[in-house]
Structure 1
Amino acid sequence: MRNQMRERQVALELARQRELFYWLGAFYFTSVIGALSSYRYKRNSSILTPLVPLTFIFAYQADLAYGNKLHRILIEAEHIMQFEPHLLQLPLDVPTPASIDLKRIQNDENKRSHSHPPAF
């Protein structure tokens, strides 16, 4: 059941990335056409400069939506889980039932001692 939910979440995220890719693609190609037509009339190469970062963003999104980027991310995540588990540990380790109860008691005591705010 959990695996099916995870698969649905991954599929939903992939569909979201593909939809974003369509919008980014439309923006990118509109920008390319505008920059090239502006360059054609003005002959100023600095007009084409914004296309460099846009090309990288477009290529990244294409790789994520239709390439094997998601597969490479999963492989890297497995590598981290297998060989670098210290990066996944919670700060101060996992809470124990005893530490949770102790914190709850401390919070109750703090509420009792500060239950009446000072009158002004």
Structure 2
Amino acid sequence: MGSMMGKVMEENLKKSQAFMLETQKMQMERQLQMQNLMRERQMAMQIAGSREMFNWMASFYSIAMLGMVAGFLKSKRPTVLVPALPLTFVVGYQYDWAWGSKVHRIRDDAEKLLVEERGIIAMPGGVPTFTEIDAARNTAKK
């Protein structure tokens, strides 16, 4: 009778472990999905913010260019047009970030870093271990 009870308990333990493993797997999948959704929302907010900033920069650029051209026509000095060069680069960069392919180029470069240059992104001292985290937590309690 004791061995029969032991077998039943062992079967129940295995079922319980399998259930816990499945539950943990489902929880992990949900956490990964949630993190990905949050990342996507943050990226959407950043890009939307960049587009809004571009609108303001383009407006400033247009007004400044009109002023520089008017100043050049009035004074005939080409130095009045010098600020146009850096302003053009700034507005072009903002346009590329907001509507161009900059996000895709950054993503491609990040994937390349993950595959080909893993050492650049490695954490100094490696990934923290449970023992290190627990020791730091205990030290902080004191």
TM-score for the superposition, normalised by structure 1? 0.83
CA distance in 2, matches of 1:66, 1:107: 47
Residue matched to 2:136:
103
Residue matched to 1:32:
65
What is the percent sequence identity of the aligned residues?
Answer: 39
Kindly indicate whether structure 1 or structure 2 has the higher relative contact order, using CA contacts under 8 Å at least 6 residues apart.
1
Residue matched to 1:57:
90
CA distance in 2, matches of 1:77, 1:43: 48
Distance 1:100-1:3 versus aligned 2 partners, 3 A rule: closer
Q: Secondary structure at the match of 2:123?
A: coil
Residue matched to 1:114:
none
Which whole-Å deviations, capped at 9, do the CAs of 1:25-60 have from their partners, x for residues lacking one? 011111100000000000111010011000011111
Bigger Rg, structure 1 or 2 = 2
Supply the RMSD in Å over aligned alpha carbons: 1.4
Q: Which has the higher helix share?
A: 2
CA distance in 2, matches of 1:9, 1:68: 18
TM-score for the superposition, normalised by structure 2? 0.71
Residue ranges of structure 1 left out of the alignment (5+ in a row):
112-120
CA distance in 1, matches of 2:104, 2:95: 14
Residue ranges of structure 2 left out of the alignment (5+ in a row):
1-33
CA distance in 1, matches of 2:136, 2:43: 37
